[in-house]
Structure 1
């Protein structure tokens, strides 16, 4: 017998109970300690709002292939399953689903940024215009 269907809001709420999310300040501190910040926002949002210096940009549809440490298409930064990864979307919803997907690949230190890029920017943390060479 299969489980009763659940909506996306219930799924996101349930997934968020499986790991500790991070605030903008915690994400910033984690990046200074070697965590990989991964921006999954689409290009139009990055162009409109800017990018986080040092964050890698990975389109959501490529995420698992780029961050799987065992994958043939992984990023050089995908060094192992113990890697601390902070997923960043625009407002902190898609990043929850992305973090859960990384957990399924064995990246159990993956988390996401509460409030997403908008919370990072509102906190006054570093942002540079997209395409300036200062960011990805």
Structure 2
């Protein structure tokens, strides 16, 4: 039995992979993401529960959808049996991670499925720093705008 040779990597490291993904995105800043979410875009927080518990979360009143990274494509692909009701080819999807790196890779993956997706520059840290609505860990929700 002969071993099958897999194709070589397309990227020379994660920095090149990230740059390639971002070349297909028109990324938005936190304030733009907030305005778009208020007007119907799906703001999707892909951070793990532990990270959200420590760092805080986008305030639920904004309409954030929490979908952890490991199931993102299955939940947002309108053709998937595991899709969420919000999954639609007509939806604008804004992906949010902690600092805006993982979200770029995730948004590019969603675009490869045919979705109108991008990510938030600076992630949740930028959202929080812009004083946008957050629910802080261990505290009452804080609103901003």
Tell whether the structures are fold-level matches, with TM greater than 0.5. yes
Equivalent residue number for residue 71 of structure 1: 80
The alignment status of 1:105 with 2:105, answered yes or no, reads no
Which runs of no fewer than 5 residues in structure 2 stay unpaired?
Answer: 1-6
Residues 4 and 81 (structure 1 numbering): CA distance in 2 closer, same or farther, change over 3 Å? closer
The number of equivalent residue pairs is 132
- Any idea what the Cα deviations from partners look like across 1:32-79, whole Å, max 9, x if unmatched? 11000100111111101221122111111100110001111111111x
Q: Which segment is superposed worse, 1-10 or 59-68?
A: 1-10
Q: Compare relative contact order (CA 8 Å, sep 6+) and give the higher one, 1 or 2.
A: 1
| Runs of 4+ that moved beyond 6 A | none
How many Å apart are 1:27 and its aligned residue? 0.2
Are 1:122 and 2:126 counterparts? no
- Structure with greater strand share of residues: 2
Q: TM-score, normalised by structure 1?
A: 0.89
Residue 23 of structure 2 corresponds to: 17
Q: How does 1:1-136 map to 2 (within 5 A)?
A: 5-52=11-58, 53=60, 54-78=63-87, 80-107=88-115, 109-129=116-136
Which structure 1 residue ranges, 5 or more long, are not aligned? none
TM-score (norm 2): 0.83
Q: What displacement does 1:5 show? A: 4.0
RMSD: 2.1
